[in-house]
Chains A and B, each alone.
Chain A
Amino acid sequence: MTRRRPMLLLALGAVLAGLLVAIVLAVALPQARDAVAVAGGGGDPLAPAATAPADPSRPARAPARPQPRGAGLLRLRATAPPRVEASAPDSRGGPPWVVRVFPSQRFAPARGGRALRRIGKPEVCAQLGRELDGRFGWVDATNTWRPVPVSYWGAPILCWHRGVEPQLQLTTPISDPSGGGADPLNAVVWGFAGRAATVDLTVDGARRGVDPTPHGVVLAVLPPGGRRHRARAELRFRDGARATAELGPFAEQRAMASHGGIGDRAHPRFAPGTPQVVDFRVPDPDGGLPWGIAVIRNDDGSGWCRSALGQIVGERVGFVDERLGTFTDATNGVDCIWVGEGTHPTPDRPLEVAYGFSAGGSPSLPPATQTAPSPGRVMRRTLPGRFTVTGLAHDDVVSVTIATPRDVRTVTPSRRAHVFAAVYDGDFPVGEIAVSARLRDGTVYRAPPYTVF
């Protein structure tokens, strides 16, 4: 009698059933749902890994990045050993935040490239970092800690001449953006408070008093802001004087609002009070962080103030430093603070259009030293950098068509603030860009064409 092998039958049955399922899925699943398969890996080494969030308390360690060298790149030297002047625990349990301070001198390569020549006067620099095992470094968005030598590269840095105005900065570290989305992790306010005796920070209504160090250094690590994302520092000086620094989104507009605007062309309605919303969204050509324009409504409900086009992190719009893994809120558009020629559309000129190009990558790094292309670029064979077309349309505009040497796109301006945008990979070294608007009455308005170079 032949002995039966149920294990073999089980395996064969499973393989058969699996194959049947694969065939059914391949036929039945629409292509649009393939993102799920890719997110799961699908055997593609470039697919974003579906890994659990990294433990901030145990960052991976890596050696320091090589320092960029090249003609025209300034170099920084500490003229005395750096000292950590301020530290604060990380709210997520990661290595503590520190600010190190050092007197410095800038140098530039002399003619011929070998020797260095001194540039400008000595300065004092403050550099934000993360301390691990007593060493100064930086933790990027992938939760990797690297030591950072004294230089302009590798960690956020501020250098100033003593006696000038306070310099405070809001640095927002973000989660890993490689999966096409990211969120702010902290709100870190730091910098020089100048002669201020105390600094009161307010982030989305939460107040925190900070005492500057004897050398005027400030450091405060706060949870990321809420929907208003408002960060403000009030500095009080020993002589009783006070000053306010707006640090969050729409900072310029808020600062202008507190001063009543600029001259007789000041925007009559700026008094932002409502939370900001992302009013127009555009995908990134590489599948990276999406792009958008944020708007806030003026207090009297009469109009909107828009931000510049930037990448979306959480519910905020701004610029991402891919190498550092930090986010900076976009500045607001000139139409927020200024009323004049070319800032607001009119029935006769229903489009205001702006063009821009960014090399991408990391503002903290010279373009010539950028690293390998992202997985998204490898998959899509896109060009480095981003060319952007943004604009504001009159209420009568129903659609905007943007014709570039690359393609023709038609978009509907946003419902709230009538903004629109298009993002292209690469640049346009040749050709012309024509933007036109179709109005409610069917007529077409053509904006003056943009000629490259």
Chain B
Amino acid sequence: MSFVDELERDLVEAAERRREALRTAAGVRARRRLGLRAPHRRAEEEAGAGLAARPGLARRGMRRLALATALFALIGAATAGAGLLLLRGTVIPGPALEDVPRDQLPLPGTTRLTGLTAADPLAGRPPWTLRLARSSTGLLCSTVGQLDGGRFGLVGLDGRFRAYSERIVDSCGEQQHGPHASLIGARVFDAEHPRDVRTVVNGVAGPSLTAVTLDVRGRARSVPVGPGGAFLAVLPGYPEDSGVQVELRFAGGQVETHPLGRSATVAPDPEGGQAWRSTAFGIGNDRRSCVTVSIARAGGAGTVASSPAACGLMRYDGRRWHGFYFAVRRLSGGAGPTSLLSGGWRGHPPRTAVWGGVGDEVAEVVVTGPGGIRTTPPIATSKTFFAVFPGSVDPDELTVTLRFADGRTRAFHGSANLVTRKVPMR
């Protein structure tokens, strides 16, 4: 006979005994009410003596009862755990209390969802939303997340939704009472592939905020304003990929602009891919100044497409830099870099690019070409410039025009003033 069968038999016997005892107790109570004596006390005493004479049987019964209790607890705990998992899902834990500055620690019970939602660019993904809270020191806190069945959390890189702990906040800042944003930023959610990266532009700018406009790749896009001047918008890719800029308009007519995805050394890709950036550098005992163009968001040293360096000689007269150099090329190929200057396109789709450096006497660079191409790339503080075009653009058909501070202009076809050999300083 198996343990379970024995246990079941014992439980049946125990239940029978209990029923008998209950019947007996009921009879005793009834007889007491009627003033009668128990008719079979003697029999009970005999039964008790019998049990006392068989201590092993009593111990075994107790043991099985204990095991039954343990079994009950085990099944109950497992069901509770599974039920909790189903009801609440898994959770992204908050940081340890002792590690969080009080200013960045939300007070328990102060978190609330704004009710604002923004659809993910990909259909079927949970919508994005904004949660607000108050910190222990009275600051305003916000957290960007997704909504899944009413739960606030995030779909991870593994595709699994996890609820956020109440202690998780993106940031807490002082609440501004004038026409200013208290909180504003572009929160980035990474992905294995750049197309799955999400930038969530969000903020809280108070009740006087009347309108929010995003400039995305040169196109204006209006964003709904929620209670308290909260707003939220979701963009695919990194902030610099769309060159996003936020414009906030307040009731008093004030306008606040936040260029969250822009910089003079970064430009969006002409075909909607990852943004590009220029990097200026010099090399040890070499008089040349050099510039490269590469994917703006490095995924690790030497892991992204990068142009060869365009190098030239600039002259410094003690006050100003003079000279100019630039490359005009179609960039393609699958190889990685073999040296610091070689670059490596790593199989990235072809692009045509103009990149180089100019002295202080150059006021503006204009690149024109077929199909109405006309762009004026900004000149960075490092005195470098660059422009990237689709790979279909023939570099030979591009014209680079330099407009000098004294009003002169010079137009070029193809690269100019590049120096490919090392020029020792002495």
Interface status of A116 (Cβ within 8 A of chain B): no
Please encode chain A, from 108 to 123, with 1 for each CB lying within 8 Å of some chain B CB and 0 for all others.
0101110000000000
Interface status of A89 (Cβ within 8 A of chain B): no
Q: How far is the CB of B279 from chain A (nearest CB, A)?
A: 8
Given contacts A71-B302, A287-B95, A430-B261, contact A407 B139 (CB under 8 A): no
Interface status of B188 (Cβ within 8 A of chain A): yes
Residue among B81, B162, B303 making CB contact with A44, cutoff 8 Å: B162
Q: How far is the CB of A205 from chain B (nearest CB, A)?
A: 28
Interface status of A379 (Cβ within 8 A of chain B): yes
Of A187-195, A250-258, A339-347, A366-374, the one with at least 4 CB within 8 A of chain B: A366-374
The answer to whether A18 and B108 have CB atoms under 8 Å apart is no
The answer to whether A367 and B94 have CB atoms under 8 Å apart is no
Please encode chain B, from 83 to 102, with 1 for each CB lying within 8 Å of some chain A CB and 0 for all others.
11111101111111011111
| A273 / chain B contacts, CB cutoff of 8 Å | none
Given contacts A4-B15, A10-B72, A21-B80, contact A412 B137 (CB under 8 A): yes
- Of all chain B residues, which has the CB nearest A373? B157
Interface status of B164 (Cβ within 8 A of chain A): yes
Q: How far is the CB of B138 from chain A (nearest CB, A)?
A: 10
| B71 / chain A contacts, CB cutoff of 8 Å | 10, 14
The answer for the CA separation of A287 and B86 in the assembled complex, in Å, is 24
The answer to whether B261 and A32 have CB atoms under 8 Å apart is no
The answer for the CA separation of A31 and B169 in the assembled complex, in Å, is 13
| A359 / chain B contacts, CB cutoff of 8 Å | 300-301
The answer for the CA separation of A382 and B144 in the assembled complex, in Å, is 13
Q: Which parts of B1-44 form the interface with A (CB within 8 Å)?
A: 4, 7-8, 11-12, 15
Interface status of A283 (Cβ within 8 A of chain B): yes
| A383 / chain B contacts, CB cutoff of 8 Å | 188, 190
Size class of the B contact interface (CB-based, 8 Å): 35 or more
Residue among B68, B79, B102, B238 making CB contact with A10, cutoff 8 Å: B68
Residue among B8, B79, B82, B91 making CB contact with A37, cutoff 8 Å: B91
- Of all chain A residues, which has the CB nearest B90? A44
| A52 / chain B contacts, CB cutoff of 8 Å | none
The answer for the CA separation of A131 and B393 in the assembled complex, in Å, is 61
Interface status of A5 (Cβ within 8 A of chain B): yes
Residue among A109, A112, A406, A427 making CB contact with B185, cutoff 8 Å: A406
Given contacts A34-B163, A431-B259, contact A7 B191 (CB under 8 A): no
The answer to whether A180 and B96 have CB atoms under 8 Å apart is yes
Please encode chain B, from 55 to 78, with 1 for each CB lying within 8 Å of some chain A CB and 0 for all others.
000000000000010011111111
The answer for the CA separation of A221 and B183 in the assembled complex, in Å, is 50
Interface status of B174 (Cβ within 8 A of chain A): yes
Given contacts A34-B163, A283-B99, contact A430 B83 (CB under 8 A): no
Interface status of A390 (Cβ within 8 A of chain B): no
Interface status of B337 (Cβ within 8 A of chain A): yes
The answer for the CA separation of A432 and B90 in the assembled complex, in Å, is 37
The answer to whether A431 and B262 have CB atoms under 8 Å apart is yes
The answer for the CA separation of A4 and B12 in the assembled complex, in Å, is 7
Given contacts A4-B12, A32-B167, A377-B190, contact A412 B101 (CB under 8 A): yes
Q: Which parts of A195-213 form the interface with B (CB within 8 Å)?
A: none
Q: Which parts of A367-411 form the interface with B (CB within 8 Å)?
A: 367-368, 370, 373, 377-384, 399, 401, 404-411
| A426 / chain B contacts, CB cutoff of 8 Å | 188, 190
Please encode chain B, from 132 to 150, with 1 for each CB lying within 8 Å of some chain A CB and 0 for all others.
0000010100100000000
- Of all chain B residues, which has the CB nearest A3? B12
Please encode chain B, from 377 to 397, with 1 for each CB lying within 8 Å of some chain A CB and 0 for all others.
000111000000000000000
The answer to whether B296 and A430 have CB atoms under 8 Å apart is yes
Q: How far is the CB of A385 from chain B (nearest CB, A)?
A: 9
| B259 / chain A contacts, CB cutoff of 8 Å | 430-432
The answer for the CA separation of A37 and B80 in the assembled complex, in Å, is 12
Interface status of B269 (Cβ within 8 A of chain A): no
Q: How far is the CB of A444 from chain B (nearest CB, A)?
A: 10
- Of all chain A residues, which has the CB nearest B152? A31
Q: How far is the CB of A280 from chain B (nearest CB, A)?
A: 7
The answer to whether B300 and A368 have CB atoms under 8 Å apart is yes
- Of all chain B residues, which has the CB nearest A438? B174
The answer to whether B157 and A378 have CB atoms under 8 Å apart is yes
The answer for the CA separation of A283 and B198 in the assembled complex, in Å, is 23
Q: Which parts of B273-325 form the interface with A (CB within 8 Å)?
A: 275, 277, 279, 296-303
- Of all chain A residues, which has the CB nearest B10? A6
The answer to whether B185 and A404 have CB atoms under 8 Å apart is yes
Given contacts A31-B165, A401-B173, A405-B261, contact A18 B99 (CB under 8 A): no
Which of B11, B87, B157, B198 has the most A CB atoms < 10 Å from its CB?
B157
The answer for the CA separation of A18 and B73 in the assembled complex, in Å, is 9
Q: How far is the CB of B129 from chain A (nearest CB, A)?
A: 15
The answer for the CA separation of A363 and B238 in the assembled complex, in Å, is 26
Given contacts A22-B84, A32-B165, contact A405 B99 (CB under 8 A): no
| A378 / chain B contacts, CB cutoff of 8 Å | 156-158
The answer for the CA separation of A59 and B54 in the assembled complex, in Å, is 53
| B337 / chain A contacts, CB cutoff of 8 Å | 71
| B172 / chain A contacts, CB cutoff of 8 Å | 409-410
Interface status of B336 (Cβ within 8 A of chain A): yes
The answer to whether B80 and A22 have CB atoms under 8 Å apart is yes
- Of all chain B residues, which has the CB nearest A284? B95
Please encode chain A, from 299 to 334, with 1 for each CB lying within 8 Å of some chain B CB and 0 for all others.
000000000000010000000000000000000000
The answer for the CA separation of A281 and B80 in the assembled complex, in Å, is 36
Given contacts A370-B300, A407-B187, A429-B277, contact A7 B8 (CB under 8 A): yes
The answer to whether B265 and A453 have CB atoms under 8 Å apart is yes
Interface status of A262 (Cβ within 8 A of chain B): no
| B300 / chain A contacts, CB cutoff of 8 Å | 359, 367-368, 370, 384
- Of all chain B residues, which has the CB nearest A9? B11
Given contacts A7-B8, A378-B156, A408-B173, contact A282 B99 (CB under 8 A): yes
The answer for the CA separation of A404 and B163 in the assembled complex, in Å, is 26
The answer to whether B76 and A14 have CB atoms under 8 Å apart is yes
Interface status of A47 (Cβ within 8 A of chain B): yes
| A411 / chain B contacts, CB cutoff of 8 Å | 101, 103-104
| B275 / chain A contacts, CB cutoff of 8 Å | 429-430
Given contacts A367-B300, A379-B156, A430-B266, contact A23 B96 (CB under 8 A): no
Interface status of B235 (Cβ within 8 A of chain A): no
| B417 / chain A contacts, CB cutoff of 8 Å | none
The answer to whether B173 and A406 have CB atoms under 8 Å apart is no
Interface status of A452 (Cβ within 8 A of chain B): yes
The answer to whether B104 and A71 have CB atoms under 8 Å apart is no
The answer to whether B137 and A380 have CB atoms under 8 Å apart is no
| B336 / chain A contacts, CB cutoff of 8 Å | 71
The answer for the CA separation of A14 and B69 in the assembled complex, in Å, is 10
Q: How far is the CB of A371 from chain B (nearest CB, A)?
A: 11
The answer to whether A430 and B240 have CB atoms under 8 Å apart is yes
Q: A10-B11, A72-B302, A429-B266 are in contact. List 6 more A-B contacts (CB 8 A).
A: A4-B12, A6-B8, A19-B80, A21-B80, A381-B157, A406-B185
Closest 10 CB pairs of A and B: A18-B79, A22-B83, A283-B95, A35-B93, A34-B91, A14-B75, A407-B185, A407-B171, A44-B90, A31-B166
Cross-chain pairs A/B with CB under 8 angstroms, 30 sampled? A6-B11, A10-B75, A11-B75, A14-B73, A17-B79, A17-B80, A21-B80, A21-B83, A22-B86, A35-B91, A38-B90, A38-B91, A38-B92, A47-B90, A72-B302, A281-B98, A283-B100, A287-B92, A366-B301, A378-B158, A379-B154, A379-B157, A405-B261, A406-B171, A409-B104, A410-B139, A429-B296, A431-B259, A453-B263, A453-B382
Residues in B lying within 8 Å of A, measured CB to CB:
4, 7-8, 11-12, 15, 68, 71-88, 90-96, 98-104, 108-109, 111, 137, 139, 142, 154, 156-158, 160, 162-167, 170-174, 181-191, 198, 238-240, 259-263, 265-266, 275, 277, 279, 296-303, 336-340, 380-382
